[in-house]
Each structure stands twice: as structure tokens, then as C-alpha cells.
Amino acid sequence: MIATQKDNREEMFPLVDEEGNIIGAATRGECHNGSKRLHPVVHLHVFNSRGELYLQKRPQWKDIQPGRWDTAVGGHVDLGESVEMALRREAEEELCLTGFTPERLPHYVFESDRERELVFPHRCTYDGEIRPSAETDGGRFWNTTEIHEAMGKGFFTPNFESEYKRLFGNEPDTLL
């Protein structure tokens, strides 16, 4: 880990309505300071052919939920970028992941005490090599039993737990 690494608070994000239409722009700092300005993000749930789900560990330098396990790929849509472009950029930056076929899942609004995000989740099945970058603190595949046993115990980000329940329910065999 690079001790001086941190999120760029001046990075520009589009502001959107609940359908994803761009209505303005703001900095990362403005979006994450409790203003609740709705901004788009992408998530990619990466499964292997055994039905295990890859999760990344967020590095300690992140401004939101440091040190917790989270969706394999997650990131902001930059100003001027499409959801598809952001998804592929983030997958390559975080996991060196290319050549996957994403399936788009229903979008939704996630709200915490600090921010509101319009989340565009996707899933894919991928058995190739995954090489976590310095943007993460590593990662691994989790089976459904491990995920269900760790839920609600502070291992995962609230975003991940909420999305997991929303998309996959509470039954382990609904993942594939």
C-alpha cells in the first residue's frame, strides 16, 4: 500500500436523476460530504463457474468504508463517460479483468448518511485470471455459506450487503 494514496476529492462526477439522466456535475468531495447529490456508480459481481462470488477488500486509504469486503468491481461513472465505459474501465483498473460479458441488472438508488448513488449493477461468470491492483487490498472468491455467515458482522460494506440481498435474496442457491 502506498501511504500517500487517497481518493481525488476534485474528480468530477455527473449528477443524475433517478433514471440516469445527467442534470449537472459536482466533485467527489461534494458528492461524499453529506450533500446527498445523486451520482452514478457501476458494480460488477464476478462469479466463477462453481458459483463462488469474488469480493475485493477495500484499502485503508479509501474515503468510504476502508478495510471492508465489497463488490468485486465498483466505481464512479466519470463526467462524459457511459455506464458501459465506466464498467469496463473499473474492471480493468481494479482486477485487470478484460474479455468478460456483463449482464446488466436493475438499477437502484443507494443512500447512506454521506451520499446517494444511482447504482448500475452487473454480473458475469469469469474463470480467467484475476489480478487485483493497488486500488484494492486484494480479494478472493467466497462461497455462499461464507457470505451468509459473515453478513451483518461488519466484514462487508453496507452497500454490498444491501445489494446482495436485493439482487440475490437470502437463498444461497439463487446466485447462478
Q: What is the 3-state secondary structure (H, E, C) of 57-122?
A: ECCCCCCCCCCCEEECEEEECCCCCCHHHHHHHHHHHHHCCCCCCCEECCCEEEECCCCEEEEEEE
What is the reported pLDDT for 2? Answer: 42
What is the DSSP pairing of strand 53-57 with strand 22-27? unpaired
77 domain-assigned: yes
What is the reported pLDDT for 7? Answer: 60
What is the reported pLDDT for 168? Answer: 87
91: left (phi over 0), alpha (psi -120 to 50) or beta: alpha
CA distance 64 to 7: 10
Number of domains present in the structure of the chain? 1
23 domain-assigned: yes
What is the reported pLDDT for 44? Answer: 98
pTM of the model: 0.88
1 domain-assigned: no
6 domain-assigned: no
CB under 8 A, 24+ apart: contacts of 17-26: 18/109, 18/118, 20/83, 20/107, 20/118, 20/120, 25/79
Residues of the domain holding 26 = 12-174
What is the DSSP pairing of strand 38-47 with strand 116-125? parallel
What is the reported pLDDT for 6? Answer: 55
Amino acid letter at 172?
A: P
3 domain-assigned: no
Instruction: Give the pLDDT means over successive 10-residue stretches in the chain (176 positions).
Output: 57 94 94 93 97 95 89 95 96 95 96 92 95 93 95 94 87 48
61 domain-assigned: yes
120 domain-assigned: yes
CATH of the domain at 162: 3.90.79.10
122 domain-assigned: yes
Amino acid letter at 123?
A: R
What is the reported pLDDT for 170? Answer: 61
